[in-house]
Structure 1
Amino acid sequence: MAKKNRTKSSGTATETPAGEVGPRQPCPCGSGKRYKACHGAAGGADVFVKRPFEGLASECDVVALRELVPAATAVLPLKGEYADRVVKLCSLLPGAAPALVRDSGEVWLGLQVQHAYGDPARDLGAVLEAALAAEPGAGMIGLTSNPGQGPRLQDLVVDGDLKIEVHEGFEFWVSDMEASSELAQALEAADGAAAPTARLTEVTAAYWTAMGSKEHLRWVMPEPEDVLLDALARLHVSGDDVIVPDARLVGMFRAHGLLAPVWDLPVGTGPEPLEDAATTFKAKLDAALANTADLTTEERSARNGLANRQVTIR
């Protein structure tokens, strides 16, 4: 007995609106579950914002500091009544604290934290508001539950390109504090886990790092994933995806709605030779991004290979 045809007619099929995730599609959080069983489940998880820092001029750098860079800071200018307050955005604070209010009243806002309520930009907004309302010297400001509706980071800051300062370690934690054995131990542990890192100056959100005996270039890019994959596939086939001789594009991270291609570099490269090389590559990438022709068979194969070498950070 033949099985019934379960295929719905085209007139009753429901299409997923552009920009939204269908219930049967993989959840963009990277859990491996279908969306309806993860962040799309009623009461199963908090709302998930795929690209939480969208709209910020320094979106790519913020993503890099949150996910890839061990020790970095940037002054964060604020709007409105808090415009005269000094706020420092930090990749990581002691104990992964969400924020610290210093004795001077200066607020340090941490990006690498242990909580996750679905919208990091809203979490940052809630922590920042609480820190600004606290007394000078209040110390750590935490976030122990979903903050609910309220201003996001984008609503509180004066937007513009942030001046990112990458540090060799975490000495900035104690630059205005008296030394103590407890602080020294925390600092030693943090410094020991921090891989040497440098931000390239000629392009945006590209970071050289040395991890053990290997060197890498990790570059957070703002283009939509499908468009960027097409462009990188074209460059791979033409041999133009090599940043410096003997470097190799080995894959990419996916974080907060953006892709970060990763190159393995020859040992001893260092960040300096990458400056001109990255500028040259960026020009080739822009040309490939502007190419709207259909991919060739070889380019489609290269694209599939790149797509299979993605790691989602969540």
Structure 2
Amino acid sequence: MRKWRWVASVSLSLIIAFFIIAAFIYTPEQEDKNQNHPPATEEAAETNQTDQEQNEPAEDPQEEMDTEESADTLSDGLRDVFTSVIESARHFLVKDDIQIVAVGDSLTQGVGDSTENGGYVGILEETFNSNKEAETINIANYGKRGNRTDQLLERLENEEISNSLRSADLVLLTIGANDVMKVVENNFTSLNYQDFVQEQEGYEERLHLIIQKVRALNQDAPIYLLGLYNPFDKYFNNIPELGQIMGDWNAISKQVINNYDNATFIPIRDLFEGSEEELLWEEDNFHPNERGYKLMAERVLEYIREDIEQ
């Protein structure tokens, strides 16, 4: 296959993309920014507190009231836009004692959901539990930011995850994006399309192993694999090869899933293309934000509804 060499024409775009990708792949340990060193003595502590109180300006009651009103208005607005319930499914009834297990990468973990509700998995869970007539449904979430197919394969050996999959009535899976990003990281200075083609065979093989491992643990539960969207589309739409790569990965994922009974591929790429709404997290412009995750949750519910509805 002919190599598509990009570096000369899109080097600046790729340099920018590299720094964004770093945020997408890695999960640095959070440092405790609130840790304070205590004063040497209690007297020093009291002195510091007194000085601070004296230097603090007097509170304006009207300003405080305006701030509270603004916060209330903002909260109402956020609840209206980012409500964690799919309104059209508010009265949705799930089968009794159903157990759903979600495994995969940051899209399962819910990275980018500033409400800390767990992304699309959390939205599904809130939707199921919004019906007070139904029993509470808990979705076991084993998403881990940065996971590639090889890493997920290792995690499937974890006893807790394995036991959870054995008892699952339905399995949700997100994986593959970090395999793509790893190619970019390893070949950044001389990146070309062939680098991705060479990695596709390994990705396909590992995805087969993942599905086979899940099926070995659980012969009956339907497996749903979510596809990939193109996080480059908005900012690097002048590089058509990036869209082609995501299309290739989705095609491979769908082809793998089609080899197994009771396994389904759920496309999500179209949800993020051509939208006028901001659907990506502003911190990295790669992970979905609350709006993006809600669209994903709605799409997933369309596919799994028959399997879980009473």
Same fold (TM over 0.5): no
Q: Which has the higher contact order (CA 8 A, sep 6+)?
A: 2
* Structure with the larger helix share: 2
**Larger-Rg structure:** 2
TM-score (norm 1): 0.24
Point out the structure with the larger strand share: 1
